[in-house]
Amino acid sequence: MNITVWTVTSDTDSGLTTTVHATQKDAYIETKGRFCNSTEEEAVFDKHIGAGTFDELASYLQSEIEGSVDSFNIEEHTLEIPEAASPWKPFEDLLGPSYCSEFMYMGSDKEQGFEMYKHIGTRRYLNIDPATGATYRRESGNEWSKVPPGEAIRFARSIE
C-alpha cells in the first residue's frame, strides 16, 4: 500500500529549522496555523493550495509574511507500507470469503501455529494451519488431531 506524506520545512529568523511530516491535509493545516496571521494570508494560502502551486506558496510565505520565514519548502513523498497478511487468508482459502460472517477470528495458537476461528452460532472452533491449510480439532486438554477439512468445517458449523 502506498501513502503520500508531505514534508514541510521552514527556517526561522532565529535559526531554527522546523520540519513537519504529515498527510497532505494535516501538513496544510499545520503550515497555515504556523505562518498565516490574518484571514487575508489564509485566503492566499488556500488559493495556492487549491491550485497545487507549491512553488508560488513557498515564495508567498517567504516574501509576504513579515520575517517569520527565511526559507520554506513543501515536498511530496510516496511511502510504500507493506501490507500485513490477513489472519482471514487461511479461512478464505479453505471456505471462501462468503462464510466469514459466520465466524469470529480468535487469534493464533502460538504453540501449535494454528489460526483459530469460532463459529458464532455453535461456538465451536475451526483451527487451520496457515502454512499447510490442514485443519485440526482439539481432542482433550492439549491433544490435537488432524482432521479432514470437510469434517472440521461440519463440526464447527453444526450442532450435534
Q: Where are the domains of the chain?
A: 2-80, 89-157
How high is the pLDDT of residue 116?
95
> H-type helices in 10-135, by residue range?
24-35, 39-51, 54-64, 89-95
**Interatomic CA distance for residues 35 and 57, integer angstroms:** 11
Candidate from 6-20, 61-75, 110-124, 142-156 with smallest mean pLDDT: 61-75
Whole-number average pLDDT of the chain = 78
**Interatomic CA distance for residues 130 and 150, integer angstroms:** 16
Candidate from 66-80, 93-107, 117-131 with smallest mean pLDDT: 66-80
